[in-house]
Structure 1
Amino acid sequence: MDFTPTEEQSAAQELAARIFGDLSTHERLAAAGTGTDAELWKALCAAGLVGAVEDIGVLGLVLLLEEQGRTTAQVPFAATCVYGLLAVAAHGTDEQRARLLPALRGGTAVATGAFPANGVGVRATAPGRLSGALPFVPWLRDATHVLVPDADLTLWLVRTADTQVSEVETTAPWAAGRLVLSGTPGERLGGPGAYESVLALGRTAFAGLQAGVCAGSLARAVQYTSTREQFGRPLSTNQGVLLRAADAYMDTEAIRVTAYEAAWRQDEGLDAAAEVLTAAWWASEAGKRVVHAGQHLHGGTGADLDHPVHRHFLWGRQLDAYLGCGAELLAELGRLLAKEEPV
């Protein structure tokens, strides 16, 4: 395995870091409230970072999402890339790719995915027609298209203009909504295996996003404890603080390296089912620990809901909920490993 970024991946990551760092500031995030930063989204699309994901692969996408997570930038980057751009590019027909990809690359179309674990809640009621309801879809209020699996795990691409969308507030400000389909027209995307492929891609991408969220939380904690003094010396000189920060660092690195491995294997066309579940488990379980540690290391300041570190806490908990609890992921991984033939 070689996780060394290519020149193209490194250039895209550096550009993303610069754009997110310049535009996703504490002041702009406070002004955005629970909504999306439209100016930042336009800047990312204008810089070609959304379209670049087709060329830099899953590992490249994970690198870009790390940069988003460091600043908790409120844009539908992961959702559009996973459930729109890459899903259509990999599983769409020639006609679908020609019609949808230019708009997704340019940001005039925004995609998201309604991905319950087993497609519960949506069914095909007639040819090309879907009915059902899903209580929570991330970035749905921004989306022009939503990728929906039915009970048979067939993928359908639906225009949100044909659905009923109502606002839902979630732990993190992900512009989420409740989706209701009532005989809604949809177009099939891909064939057998498309659902599993997109689900694996989504788990890997959001694990990469969690790696960035945790890295950002830890960086803030290190800066705070290095400058905040108690009894005449920095907090960071206390052994308890050092050990807590060290544990958070190791957890963050575990999230990062397992996400990299899952992404690399997908780029190489290798089986990545176990690695994807491993990455999702680390992102869920360790992610919680890191963002809690980041807040605790700020002491009373961490209890301030307006402090920047609190956003990392909210995002970390939201990603934990979105990826699924650790016990569920371990159970799925166990079932997968039990099916494998012994070497």
Structure 2
Amino acid sequence: MDFTATEEQRAASGLAAEIFAELSTPERLGALGTATDTGLWRALCAAGLPGAVEDIGLLGLALLLEEQGRTTAQVPFAATCVYGLLAIGGHGTAEQRDRLLPGLRDGSAVATGAFPGDAGGALPVAVRDAAGPGARLTGTVPLVPWLDAATLLLVPDADRRLWLVRATAPGVGIEPVATTAPWSAGRLTLRDAPAEPLGEPGQSGAAPYDDVLATARTAFAALQAGVCAGALARAVSHTATREQFGRPLSTNQGVLLRAADAHLDTEAIRVTVYEAAWRRDAGLDAAPHALTAAWWASEAGKRVVHTGQHLHGGTGADTGHPVHRHFLWGRQLDAYLGSGAQLLEELGALLTEAEDEGVDGRDADADGGPATGEGNPV
């Protein structure tokens, strides 16, 4: 494994950091409320950053999302890249790529995914006439991030096939939903909504679904790494300058220990994200690694944002303070990625299944069965 960023990835990350720092200020965020920052989104698209993800890969996207998380910028970066650019680029037909990717690159289109929080369980969307050109979807997904800003929806059905749905299509209902963080989110209701399959009609949905889900978990965990880094940076700055009893708060052992624990938690999120992203870019199985990154982002992420708020003392309780936004984002990402217990249960089932398949393969090989094949000794 080599997590060293390429020159292109470093350049994109540096440019993103400049744009986010300049445009996603606390004053601007306070004025936005729960709205998407369309001006910032136009600036990011004009700089070519969403489109660059097709070249710099998921590891490059993780670096960009870290920069977004540091400023808690209200743009649909992760959703458009994961559920739009990477999903269509990796699994769409040539015609779908030619038709849909240009708008996602230049910002005239915004994508999101109707993947429920309990993605490891049953999916609530049913499909009618799946084999024909007039497929229709019916179902409800309670929370979809950046839904009211989206023009294109990626929707999995109960059989884990992926469908593309226009947000303005008949039968598509969008209702705003209040979230912990000031995200632009909504409840999606489909009633015989027209849809087209992602990729060739009739192809198996399991592999594309698994890839998109692992990619989404990795990307939103990367966003959490940035949120945690931003919260910790604010806490370090505050405790280094705030004095109590004639000395900075940062000289107190209890403060140092909490900050050190938060730093280790943030690095754990980051390194597991990088591993999952690197494996996906290398064409290797990344599902268990994405679950590991999501678990760290969920469990450790909320510890870090709580620490960031606590180290600000009474100031951290001020809902208008920038560190409070990191707290809200950290809790929202924790909820969106899924609880730690849920993620561990899914990871355990995945690893057990892989181990059982490995045992079955060894048994077949030992018995002279089809694992090695006649004439193909190992």
Q: Does TM, scored on the shorter chain, surpass 0.5?
A: yes
Residue 157 of structure 1, aligned match among 137, 160, 164: 164
Structure 1 distance, partners of 2:122, 2:164, is: 14
SS at match of 2:181: coil
Structure 2 distance, partners of 1:111, 1:337, is: 32
Residue 167 of structure 1, aligned match among 176, 179, 182: 176
Q: What residue number does 2:99 align with?
A: 99
SS at match of 2:284: coil
Residue 127 of structure 2, aligned match among 101, 124, 128: 124
Q: What residue number does 1:148 align with?
A: 155
Deviations 1:214-253 (A, max 9, x none): 0000000000000000001000000000000000000000
Whether contact under 8 Å (2:210, 2:287) holds in the other structure is no
SS at match of 1:63: helix
Whether contact under 8 Å (1:144, 1:161) holds in the other structure is yes
Structure 2 distance, partners of 1:266, 1:120, is: 24
Q: What residue number does 1:114 align with?
A: 114
Q: Determine if the alignment matches structure 1 residue 254 to structure 2 residue 268.
A: yes
User: What is the letter of the counterpart of residue 124 of structure 1?
Assistant: V
Gaps of 5+ in 1: none
Deviations 1:57-89 (A, max 9, x none): 010000000000000000000000000011000
When normalised by structure 2's length, the TM-score is 0.89
CA apart distance, 1:120: 2.4
Whether contact under 8 Å (1:70, 1:212) holds in the other structure is yes
Whether contact under 8 Å (2:115, 2:141) holds in the other structure is no
Q: What residue number does 1:134 align with?
A: 141
User: What is the letter of the counterpart of residue 81 of structure 2?
Assistant: C
Structure 1 distance, partners of 2:347, 2:175, is: 34
Structure 1 distance, partners of 2:272, 2:93, is: 32
Whether contact under 8 Å (2:309, 2:327) holds in the other structure is yes
Gaps of 5+ in 2: 363-378
Structure 1 distance, partners of 2:88, 2:329, is: 27
Are the structure 2 counterparts of residues 16 and 39 from structure 1 closer, same or farther at C-alpha, using a change threshold of 3 Å? same
Q: Determine if the alignment matches structure 1 residue 302 to structure 2 residue 316.
A: yes
Q: What residue number does 2:245 align with?
A: 231
Whether contact under 8 Å (1:119, 1:150) holds in the other structure is no
Structure 1 distance, partners of 2:351, 2:192, is: 39
User: What is the letter of the counterpart of residue 178 of structure 1?
Assistant: R
Q: What residue number does 1:328 align with?
A: 342
Whether contact under 8 Å (2:176, 2:187) holds in the other structure is yes
Whether contact under 8 Å (1:62, 1:259) holds in the other structure is yes
SS at match of 2:148: coil
Whether contact under 8 Å (1:88, 1:97) holds in the other structure is yes
Map 1:1-343 → 2, pairs under 5 A: 1-116=1-116, 117=119, 118=121, 120-127=123-130, 128-162=135-169, 163-190=172-199, 191-192=203-204, 193-339=207-353, 340=355, 341=358
Structure 2 distance, partners of 1:55, 1:119, is: 33
User: What is the letter of the counterpart of residue 113 of structure 1?
Assistant: G
Whether contact under 8 Å (1:119, 1:152) holds in the other structure is no
CA apart distance, 1:53: 0.2
Deviations 1:245-285 (A, max 9, x none): 00000000000000000000111111112211111100000
Whether contact under 8 Å (1:57, 1:267) holds in the other structure is yes
- When Rg is computed on C-alpha atoms for both structures, the one with the higher figure is 2
Whether contact under 8 Å (1:285, 1:320) holds in the other structure is yes
When normalised by structure 1's length, the TM-score is 0.98
Q: Which moved more, 1:165-174 or 1:314-323?
A: 165-174
CA apart distance, 1:169: 1.0
